[in-house]
Amino acid sequence: MSSLERDNHGNARFCGCSSIRDFEFLGKLGEGTFGEVYKARSKKDTSVVALKRILMHNEKDGVRVPLYYSSTS
């Protein structure tokens, strides 16, 4: 079964991208007009990162889609 993250064979669709499940959320750092920023720890290598949850607006049907962006600290 394919998904946004994986194709029909279970391979990652986006090279270099991690799943949100690969992180442990440690707390919310802040928020702004376009989203929220969280402090998180990688479950793979224990590095601490900032994850930005960006709210994207779909002009067709008005549905907000969350998108996460990672930045190492």
- CATH class of the structural domain 20-72: alpha beta
**24-63 pLDDT, tens digit each:** 999 999 998 888 999 999 999 999 999 988 876 655 555 5
Q: Specify the pLDDT at position 18.
A: 81
Residues near 37 by beta carbon (within 8 Å), at least 6 away in sequence: 28, 29, 30, 31, 50, 51, 52, 53
Tokens of 16: 């270099």
User: Is 52 labeled as ligand-binding?
Assistant: yes
**2-13 pLDDT, tens digit each:** 676 778 888 877
Q: Is the pTM of this model over 0.75?
A: no
